[in-house]
Amino acid sequence: MNDILYTRLLLWKKKVPTMLFWLVFPIVGTCLFITTASTIEEDSRVPIGIVLEDKSELATELINSMEASRLVEVYLYSEQQALYELEKYELDSVFVIHEGFENAILSNKRNKLISSYQTELSFAYSPVKEMIVSLVQEESGRAKAAHFILQMNEEYGNSESFTWNEINEKSKQVQLDENLLNTSFSYSNTNDIVENPSLLSWNTWGIWAIFTLLSTLFLMDWVIREKSMAVTTRFTFIKMTRFNYYLKIILLYFMLFFLFDLISFVVFAIYLNEDFSTGFLFVILTFRIMLCLLMFCLVQCFKKISSFYGFSIMLTLILAVISGAIIPIFPPLNNLMELINPLQAFLNGKLTVLWSIIGLITVALILLRKEKSNA
C-alpha cells in the first residue's frame, strides 16, 4: 500500500491545481450557489396577475394580504388583459377571484372560489398557489369563527352585541399578538427556523451532491489513462494482482474524497448553519462509497477522455433535473424513477445501501473478469 501511495503522490504532484480545484469545487460551488440564489431571490418578486371580479371587503383584504407578501408582485388586470400578459410571459400566473367570493366565504363554502392560469414557464406557480390558498383559508377560518360567535350571541341572548367588523378586527389582533397561523419554514437537514421564509427552499446537501457527482466524475479520469497500453505493461513487473492494484487505488481515492467531504460537513455547519449531526456522517459515508464504486464502473465504458467529460456533464445535468436538487419546484417523480436515481437516497437523508451494493458487485465482476482475461 505504501508503494501505491508513493507512486500516486508522484502523479498527483504534477497536477496539484487541477486536483485541488475539483476537490474544493463542491464546497465552494454550493456556498456560492446558495448565497447567490438567496441574494437574487431577496431582491426579486414573482409577477402574478389578479382578476378581481368580486368587489367585496373580503376580496379586497385578500388582495392586500397578497400585496403585503414580499414573495410576489401583484398586478390587477381584467381577465382578457391578464391572459394576454400571461401569453407574453410577462406574468408567471394569473388568479381570478370570482364574483360571490365574500358570500361563499361567509357561507363556509371553499370550492371554486378562485381560478388560476399558468404556462409551461410558470416556474413559481406551485408555491404562489399554496400561498394564496393559505390566505384564503385564513380568511375562511376567521369568517367561520365570526359566524360562530354571532350565532352563539343570538342563541344565548348575550347583552353585549358584536358586529362582524369588530370580531374580524379582534381576530386579526389576536393573530398578531399570539403569532397564530404563522408557518415556520426550515431548510432540509436543519433545525433552525427561518424567520423570513423564501419562495424556494434550497437543499444545501442536494446542491452539494450534484457538484460532488461532477467533481468525482472528472477526478476518475485516471481510469482511462490507466487502460492505455504504455501503462498496462507494468503489470508484468509488479507482484500484486490487477484486482488488488485497482482496489487499493479506489480505496486511496475514497479516503481523499471523504477527507474533503468532512471539510464540507464542517464548512456547511459553520457558514450555512446546517445541522451538525454525527448520524448524517454515515449518510455521507455511504454516498461517497457509492460514488467511488459506480463512477469507477462508468469510466470503464470509455476510451477517450473527451467523450467521458461530455457524458459526465450530460449525466450530471439529467440527475440534477430529475432529483429536484437544483430546481426544488420540479414535480415529484414516481417510485420507479426514485429507485433508479442513485442520488435519491442521499437527498432523502437515508443511507445509500442499494446502489453501494450494486457498485461493489459490479466492480468485483469487472476486476475479476479482467484478471481472468489477462491470465
Better-scored residue on pLDDT, 237 or 26: 26
Three cell numbers, residue 145: 369563527
Judged by DSSP in three states, 331 sits in coil
Per-residue cell: 227: 487502460
Q: Integer distance in angstroms from the first to the last C-alpha of the chain?
A: 23
Classify residue 184 by its DSSP letter. Answer: P
Answer whether residue 54 shows pLDDT above 80. Answer: yes
Residues pairing with 109 in the sheet: none
Closest CA to 134 of 100, 112, 118, 110: 110
What residues form DSSP beta bridges with 93?
A: 48, 118
Highest mean pLDDT among 93-97, 192-196, 274-278: 93-97
Residue 102, classified by CB atoms within 10 Å of its CB into exposed (0-12), middle (13-18) or buried (19+), is: buried
Q: How confident is the model at residue 219 (pLDDT cuts 50, 70, 90)?
A: very high
| pLDDT digits 0-9 by tens, 239-286 | 767 778 788 888 999 999 999 999 999 999 888 888 878 889 999 999
pLDDT at 316: 92
Q: Which residues pair with 118 in a beta bridge?
A: 93
Residues facing 51 on adjacent strands? 96
Tell me the one-letter amino acid at 365.
L
CB of 25 within 8 A of CB of 18? no
What is the fold, at CATH topology level, of the domain defined by 46-178?
D-Maltodextrin-Binding Protein; domain 2 (3.40.190)
Is this model's pTM higher than 0.85 or not? no
Compute the Cα dihedral for 177, 178, 180, 184 and give only its sign.
positive
Mean pLDDT of the chain: 79
In the chain, at which residue ranges do the beta strands (DSSP E only) sit? 46-52, 72-76, 93-97, 114-118
Residue with cell 407578501: 69
Q: Percent of the chain at pLDDT above 90?
A: 25
Summarize the confidence of residues 59-70 as an average pLDDT: 83
Show the CA angle centred on residue 210, arms to residues 205 and 211, nearest 5°.
95
Looking up cell 508513493 gives: 6
**Number of alpha helices (DSSP H) and beta strands (DSSP E) in the chain:** 16, 4
* pLDDT at residue 179 tops 60: no
Q: Is the dihedral of CA 269, 274, 277, 280 positive or negative?
A: negative
As a whole number, mean pLDDT of residues 75-95 equals: 90
DSSP code string of 103-149 = HHHHTT--SSSEEEEE-TT-TTHHHHHHHHHHHHHHHHHHHHHHHHH
12-26, 152-166, 211-225: range with lowest mean pLDDT: 152-166
Asked if residues 30 and 38 have their Cβ atoms less than 8 Å apart, the reply is no
Residue given cell 399578538 in the structure block: 177
Residue range(s) in the chain whose domain bears CATH number 3.40.190: 46-178
Asked whether residue 1 carries a pLDDT value surpassing 70, the answer given is no
Torsion of CA 123, 129, 132, 138, to 10 degrees: -140
User: When comparing pLDDT for 209 and 372, which is higher?
Assistant: 209
C-alpha cell at 60: 379586497
Q: Is the pLDDT of residue 25 over 90?
A: yes
